[in-house]
């Protein structure tokens, strides 16, 4: 069973980032946490929710940038000498 809470190291493991990155997210207010004594405590649910939102936003951005309309291919002009006329 997964613990309902994690510390900074546990959150870093879930997010696959350095623990300092988790501290930076906490200090920026992007990841909710509480200090209990000298350590941060985070709800595992909040860490997973953060990852899910980041994944969805970045995926949408990638899809948006790929959806740019492409210009049509150039059609090569055919000279009159290249056109055969059946008699």
Q: Is residue 85 part of a domain?
A: no
The answer to the question of residue 74 being in a domain is no
Is 76 inside any structural domain? no
In a domain, 48, yes or no: yes
pTM greater than 0.75 (yes/no): no
CATH number at residue 15: 1.10.1660
pLDDT tens readout for residues 27-76: 999 999 999 999 999 999 999 999 999 999 999 999 988 866 666 677 66
Residue-by-residue DSSP string for 26-41: HHHTSS--EEETTEEE
Residue 82 inside a domain? The answer is no
Model confidence at 2, pLDDT cuts 50, 70, 90, reads: confident
| pLDDT given at position 40 | 98
Give domain status of residue 83, yes or no: no
Query: Strands, E, within 1-87: which ranges?
Result: 5-6, 34-36, 39-43
Q: Is residue 19 part of a domain?
A: yes
Range of the domain at 61: 5-66
Q: How many domains does the chain have?
A: 1
Q: Using pLDDT thresholds of 50, 70 and 90, give the confidence band for residue 79.
A: low
């Amino acid at each position: 069973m997964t613990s309902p809470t994690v510390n900074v190291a546990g959150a870093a493991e879930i997010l696959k980032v350095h623990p300092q990155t988790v501290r930076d997210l906490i200090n920026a207010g992007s990841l909710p946490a509480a200090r209990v004594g000298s350590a941060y405590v985070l709800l595992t649910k909040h860490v997973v929710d953060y990852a899910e939102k980041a994944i969805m936003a970045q995926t949408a951005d990638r899809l948006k940038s790929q959806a740019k309309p492409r210009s049509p291919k150039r059609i090569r002009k055919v000279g009159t000498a290249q056109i055969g006329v059946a008699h």
